[in-house]
Amino acid sequence: MTTERIQGRVFGEVADEYDRVRPGYPAELLTDVLAYAGGPALEVGAGTGKATELFATGGIDVVATEPDPAMAAVLARRVADRPNVTVTVSTFEEYVPPRPFGLLYCAQAWHWVDKDVRWQRAAAALAPGGGLALFWNGDWPADAGVTAALLAAHEELTPHLRPNLGPISRPIGEEAGALEWAAEMGLPPEFGDVGTRLYQWERTVSGADYVALLSTQSAYRILAEDVRERLFARLGDVLGAQVRLNVETALYLARHLP
């Protein structure tokens, strides 16, 4: 197992906190995805069910797969009153679809799926003409001074770790299109009709909850505990009582070609 794969399995250490502080997804995204493809749906890497809960309101059956038992336990509690949702503890790579799905979606997790098989596995799970929907949230402080203070703290205490501050489509300090998912989705011969949609919104969290949000991200989970504690103490000092965040949700769509 590579370091990357281990990093992708650390979220269960903070499953309840993850569920508490991670944001959800815009309702407009659900409308757009279901206009593109219908159910039944397979969710990959469902986590604690932030996207599952949204898609469960769409009137389709959902099979939500999640490899981490702790995350899946929170997910199961979240959708306990949703008879149209089935929770399965499994990696996508190991999951055997019982039937073709009309939609496969993945929120905030597709980059953890084995890149050597992810597109082929997606095609195998989808019915001809079925839709693939991948989406991520990216956020950054609306106050440029707060962003500068966060970057300075990281540069001093964890210079090897640059925080992901900025839109998914153009992270701060990176070239536009740093996540070229739309381009990658167009490469496998099994997929076509590729498109991208962006949703801009805002939310406000307490300074403590912003630090808690960072604590649920894998790059911080794998830091040595003493390093992480020093960094978070410094961030607590530079953040105010509240942090207003700009949020961009990037949606990438592709269709399984017959």
Q: What is the 3-state secondary structure (H, E, C) of the chain?
A: CCHHHHHCCCHHHHHHHHHHHCCCCCHHHHHHHHHHCCCCEEEECCCCCHHHHHHHCCCCCEEEEECCHHHHHHHHHHCCCCCCEEEEECCCCCCCCCCCEEEEEEECCHHHCCCCCHHHHHHHHEEEEEEEEEEEEEEEECCHHHHHHHHHHHHHHCCCCCCCCCCCCCCCCCCCCCCCHHHHHCCCCCEEEEEEEEEEEEEEEEHHHHHHHHHCCHHHHCCCHHHHHHHHHHHHHHCCCEEEEEEEEEEEEEEECC
Name the architecture of domain 3-138+166-201+248-256: 3-Layer(aba) Sandwich (3.40)
What are the domain boundaries of the chain? 3-138+166-201+248-256
pLDDT tier at 8, thresholds 50, 70, 90: low
pLDDT tier at 65, thresholds 50, 70, 90: very high
Question: Which has the minimum average pLDDT: 1-10, 105-114, 163-172?
Answer: 1-10
Q: What is the pLDDT of residue 124?
A: 97
- pLDDT tens track for 120-168: 999 999 999 999 999 999 888 999 898 888 888 888 888 888 777 766 6
Q: What is the pLDDT of residue 238?
A: 84
Q: Is the pLDDT of residue 257 over 90?
A: yes
Q: Is the pLDDT of residue 14 over 80?
A: no
Q: Is the pLDDT of residue 4 over 70?
A: no
Q: Is the pLDDT of residue 178 over 70?
A: no
Q: What is the pLDDT of residue 167?
A: 67
- pLDDT tens track for 184-216: 887 889 999 999 999 999 999 999 999 888 888
- pLDDT tens track for 67-102: 999 999 999 999 999 999 999 999 999 999 999 999
Q: What is the pLDDT of residue 163?
A: 78
pLDDT tier at 51, thresholds 50, 70, 90: very high
- For the ranges 63-67, 179-183, 196-200, the maximum mean pLDDT occurs at 63-67
Q: Is the pLDDT of residue 2 over 60?
A: no
Q: Is the pLDDT of residue 173 over 80?
A: no
- pLDDT tens track for 222-254: 778 888 888 888 888 888 899 999 999 999 999
Q: Is the pLDDT of residue 6 over 50?
A: yes
Q: What is the pLDDT of residue 232?
A: 86
